[in-house]
Chain A
Amino acid sequence: MHNGRACKNGYWGGDLKMYSMLKRVIFFILLAGLWELLFWLGIWPEYVLPSPVSVGKTLVRGFQDQSLLIGVAISMKRIAIGYGISLGVGVFVGLLIGRFRIFEDTLGSLISGLQTLPTICWLPLSLLWFGLNDNAIIFLVFMGAVLSIATGTDSGVKNVPPLYIRAAKTMGAKKWKLYLEVIIPAAFPHIVIGMKQGWSFAWRSLMAGELLIVCLGLGHLLMLGRELNDMSQVIAVMLVIILIGILVDRLFFMKIERHIRERWGLVKS
Chain B
Amino acid sequence: MSESVGVDDLIELDYRKTDKGQEISETNSAKPDLCIQHVSKSFQSKNGSVYVLEDINLEINQGEFVCLVGPSGCGKTTLMNIVAGLEKADSGEVWVNGRRILGAGPDRVVIFQEAALFPWLNVIKNVEFGLKLKGVSSSKRRTIALEYLKMVHLTKFQKSHIHELSGGMKQRVAIARALAMNPGMLLMDEPFSALDAQTRWILHYELQNIWMKTKKTILFVTHNIREAVCLADRIFILSTSPGKIKKEFSIDLPRPRDDNDVNVAEYSTRIMKELKAEIDKVVKCEMDADSCVECDIKCTTVEPVKTDIGGGI
The answer to whether A182 and B118 touch (CB under 8 A), given A170-B84, A170-B106, A171-B181, is yes
Asked whether B251 is an interface residue with its Cβ less than 8 Å from the other chain, the reply is: no
Considering only residues 127-170 of chain B, those with a C-beta below 8 Å from chain A are: 129-130, 132-134, 161-164
In the bound complex, do residue B112 and residue A166 qualify as a contact, i.e. CB atoms below 8 Å apart?
Answer: yes
Interface string of A99-114 (1 = CB under 8 A from B): 0000000000000000
A188 in contact (CB, < 8 A): yes
What is the bound-complex CA distance between A132 and B130, given in angstroms?
52
Within 8 Å CB of B163, what residues of A? Answer: 264-265
CB distance from A263 to the nearest CB of B (A): 6
Number of residues from B at the complex interface, CB < 8 A:
29
Residue among B85, B114, B129, B162 with max Cβ neighbours from chain A (10 Å): B129
On whether the beta carbons of A186 and B118 are closer than 8 Å, the reply is yes
CB of A185 within 8 A of CB of B112, answer no
* Contact yes or no, A166 B116, CB < 8 A: yes
Q: How far is the CB of A139 from chain B (nearest CB, A)?
A: 33
Does A117 have its Cβ within 8 Å of any Cβ on chain B?
no
Does residue B120 face the partner (Cβ distance < 8 Å to A)? yes
Checking B112, B132, B177 against A163 with a beta-carbon cut-off of 8 angstroms, the contacting residue is: B112
**A171 smallest CB distance to B (angstroms):** 4
Give Cα A169–Cα B84 distance, bound, in whole angstroms. 9
Say yes or no: A172 contacts B133, CB within 8 Å. Answer: yes
Q: A170 to B120, Cβ gap below 8 A?
A: no
Contacts of A188 in B (CB 8 A): 120
The list of the 4 closest CB pairs from A to B, nearest first, reads A265-B163, A172-B106, A167-B116, A171-B130
Extra A-B contacts (8), CB below 8 Å, given A169-B85, A170-B104, A263-B161 = A171-B106, A171-B133, A171-B178, A172-B130, A185-B118, A263-B119, A264-B163, A265-B162
Residue numbers of A with Cβ under 8 A of B are 163-164, 166-173, 177, 181-182, 185-186, 188, 262-265
